[in-house]
Chain A
Amino acid sequence: MNYEISLITTMAIAVMFALSLNLITGFCGQISLGHATFQGIGAYAAAMLGKAGWPFLATLPVSMVLAGLLGVIVGLASLRVRADFLAITTMGVGFLFVGIVRQQESLGGELGVSSIPDHGLGRVGFMALALLMCAGIAALSVYIKRSWMGRVFNGIAEDEDTMRVLGIDVPRYKLAAFAMGTSLAGLSGAFYTYHLTFIGAESFGFVESITVLSMVVFGGIGSVPGVIIAAALLSVLPAWFQVIGDYKLLVYGGLLFVMMRFSPGGMAGLAARFFPTTPLVKGGKP
């Protein structure tokens, strides 16, 4: 039973993480290649605070705020320029994060941070809270999609020049998406820390960023149910099939390529093609 609880918790954390990127990449069309950095910020914040004696629940808001803050800084530096600039900047920030953390003895350096205290919720309680957070983020995503914010995001993803001519403050909307997405990534990071009770800088590197991006693309960029299913599935595959764990980058990179080439709409797009009336991808549209 412990194994199943742990597996579900892993899935829930991956779903939180993927949904947070979905706000940025799926809804607003901004490609981030360094999303794991923001999960890492949240994870390290929770780890350091936890070891300093903070209770688990109190580390959550701090993790979110710190990750969101860094997100806003990175966003301000890159969102005013062309869209592909964000991809490059976030990738750079990702390498910078791993590089810096590994050199900091106070952050555990190469060895990472271990013996993180217990969250005190019990295994089932922790799992339930993680699932609750997933449900919350999913509900938020569905709500955003239905609101005017979602419609503007959608427009920016398709054609930002036209949105400008419609009087939309495009950089501000992108920044809003980035702030929400990165702070939720920070939240997933705090759960990650307390779930594994050990973290290292490598856990938030480029491979993880590509992994989460492939979850979003595989599920169907922008589709909330699609991304949930894809993240849940892809997060447990390495545990079930050793070979996927060994060739992670190859598998996820290949998946990204295949989906972009043959079904840019992801699994949600495929489902819509085969079952034109499926409510899966229509979610939210009036």
Chain B
Amino acid sequence: MNHPTSNTPLLQVNGVTVRFGGLTAVDDVSFDVHQGDLLGLIGPNGAGKTTMMRAIIGVVQPTVGSVFLGGESLNGLPIHKRIQKGMSLSQQLVRPLRDMSIQENVALAAASDKTISPLRAFLNVSTDRELAVAQTELARVGIVSMASQSPSIQPLGVLKRLELARALALKPRLLLLDEPLAGLNSQEARALATTIAEINQQGLTIVLIEHNLGEVMRICQRLVVLDNGKKIGDGDPRVVMADPVVRAAYLGGDALGASEAQGHSTLETQRA
């Protein structure tokens, strides 16, 4: 793993604003992610979390502001360049390639040094190393027993783990997880959240977007809270969630979101 110099944050989001026409999806948001962090990026529906993630990974370019990885500006770089610089993204919608096995899916990510250019990819045939890496990463996320199966027949819980293994196989410095727990039942969600925490403890820096506040509170060391595109909280999870502004944002949302958030908050209060 690549350790940046002691004081430079691994990821710096610097005054990022993203506008789509008249809509400001992300409004002047700044935060740092340090080596070893497990940061939860949370907020009610429509808060701008996913847009923020997309600005970091390069799907959208910020209207104003910059994103730095290890002190290096990522402005204007396309997605694949950012991935090559050491980020990886586990997408919310799991999209494995259906006509290859789970292991081959992960191996494709593990081959990033061979697939960096078409010529190099043309000259390389051997898959031994990549399949071995895939095996390791699948073991890390707990689905190594399904390695040779097709992803088409797997339940969502396995696919979410496959997506995570694929992101890990890129050997990132920074792992971005977009709602890895969405759609899982509470047992599966808890198990996967534990896996994520373990991966972080092994030294990988992680930014986690997640709606499941219970699990976020359980595993994250720090929270950044967005609401209406603005950052309204940043710091220790308990302190942040006790903040009246953050509570109001969660409780004042639409009826469904509010009741859901309330449920989670009550849970957290009880736990605290």
Contact = CB atoms under 8 A, between A and B. Distances in A.
B240 to A, nearest CB: 29
Interface of B: 57, 78-80, 83-84, 88-89, 91, 95, 97-100, 104, 108-109, 111-112, 114-125, 127, 166, 170
B111 A148 contact: yes
Interface in A159-216: 159, 161-162, 164-170, 172-173, 176
B100 to A, nearest CB: 8
B14 to A, nearest CB: 23
A119 interface: no
Contact of B99 (A154, A165, A169, A176): A154
A149 interface: yes
B98 A149 contact: no
A278 interface: no
Contact of B91 (A151, A152, A165, A173): A165
Contacts, number: 84
Interface residues of A, number: 26
20 contacts: A146-B125, A149-B118, A149-B121, A151-B115, A152-B118, A159-B97, A161-B95, A165-B57, A165-B83, A165-B88, A165-B89, A166-B83, A167-B80, A167-B83, A167-B84, A167-B112, A167-B115, A167-B116, A173-B118, A286-B127
Contacts of B122: 144, 147-149, 176
A155 B125 contact: no
Nearest to B123: A147
B180 to A, nearest CB: 14
A84 interface: no
Contacts of B91: 162, 165
Interface in A61-95: none
A158 interface: yes
Given A149-B122, A166-B108, 5 more contacts: A144-B122, A146-B125, A148-B111, A159-B97, A167-B112
A172 B97 contact: no
Nearest to A162: B95
Contacts of B117: 169, 172
